[in-house]
Homo-oligomer: A and B are copies of this chain.
Amino acid sequence: MVTSEQVAQLAGVSRATVSRVLNGSARISDDARERVHKAIKALGYEPNVVAQNLARPRSRMIALGLFHDNEGLAISQLGRTENYFYIDMVRHIDRCVAEIGYDLFMPSLPRSKPESYIRSLQARRAAGIIMLAVDQSDPRIEALIQAKIPTVFVDAMGEGSHATYAQSNHLEGARQVGEHLLALGHRRIAFLIEPLSNPTSTERLLGCQQVLARAGVPFDPGLLCQIEWSTDEAYHATKEFLSRRRDFTAIVAGSDMMAIGILRALHEAGLRVPEDVSLTGFDDVVLSQYTTPPLTTVRQDKEALGKGAVQRLIALIEETGDVSPLIVPSQLVVRESTGPAPVSS
């Protein structure tokens, strides 16, 4: 591996000077700058980022975490169906982070206590962390805030001197769903959603409830079903649910990936979508247009979320710029899984 020492020798300067031209320091003679650049090119030099991260007061590594079931292995969690939406979003985060010259990494930390999670993060010298959090009560949220590690939470509402958050306007999205179903004549609507320890879930429920309440539609608690949110679990839970109740004309699923499982349970039960029952999702994952029928859902603006989260994290790290919570508008997308409520029932 070629080092800055070799570049310095070839250019006839010191390592300090090489470092300075690399980091765009101001006071460098044009002559020196040019000689260094020439040497870098000739040698194919690329600075050792591990050494840089150790030497600099602040590293250029951003950690991406995903809290799920108290697991620390972020990459593994990302592969669970319930997190497919985040995969779409992470693509934008990745791109955005690369553009500003930082490295993104997903620390695979063993399951452990919050304090040790923090220490592992520090041991890896993360400059900051983007935390995809699905459970507001996860103790690591508070631990990150206390530790004053620059953090942007996505879908959890952590705030502090070095923390802020970004999320879609789930409430507004849910209201659109409520209005859409209402307009189609639905009155008895079932909610198959994630446990309400997930704030996203709560907002989605609330948005629908608000609209229905204003329209004078009574809320039937028996039609509210909190289920775990993988496609598999949604499928099984729906089968069980259908064995108890069928007196509804529409289902609001907590997410698209849940809707995919619900759809199958509905098919197997001989219920047609949307003729017998309408179904809506949330998120607009790539696959929601490939279900049978294609899914009516609420689109989250993945790009705005991803870029916004990165921008705020940098602002937090560099202590300059906008660090206010980011709320991104979301938008109902009507496809073919919703239709008029059946007249008889």
Contacts and interface: CB of A to CB of B under 8 A. Distances in A.
A288 to B, nearest CB: 11
Nearest to A107: B103
Interface in A118-160: 119-120, 122-125
A9 interface: no
Contacts of A97: 108
Contacts of A109: 98
A80 to B, nearest CB: 8
A290 B231 contact: yes
A267 B97 CA distance: 40
Contacts of A206: none
A290 B76 contact: no
A59 B50 CA distance: 10
A284 to B, nearest CB: 14
Given A231-B290, A292-B267, A79 B75 contact: no
A162 interface: no
Contacts of A236: none
Interface size class of A (residues with CB under 8 A): 35 or more
A108 B94 contact: yes
A245 to B, nearest CB: 23
B50 A75 contact: no
Interface stretch (A197-205, A256-264, A315-323): A256-264
A333 interface: no
B123 A94 contact: no
Interface of A is mostly: helix
B290 A260 contact: yes
A261 B48 CA distance: 44
A120 B261 CA distance: 42
Interface string A46-58: 1111110110000
Given A87-B78, A115-B44, A73 B50 contact: no
A123 B109 CA distance: 23
A105 interface: yes
Contacts of A196: none
Interface in A174-232: 231-232
Interface string A245-287: 0000000000000001101100100000000000000000011
B95 A49 contact: no
Given A119-B44, A123-B48, A123-B49, A290 B108 contact: no
23 contacts: A44-B115, A46-B120, A46-B123, A50-B59, A50-B123, A50-B124, A51-B54, A54-B54, A75-B90, A75-B91, A75-B94, A75-B106, A76-B91, A76-B94, A78-B87, A79-B91, A98-B108, A104-B108, A106-B106, A264-B289, A264-B290, A267-B292, A287-B287
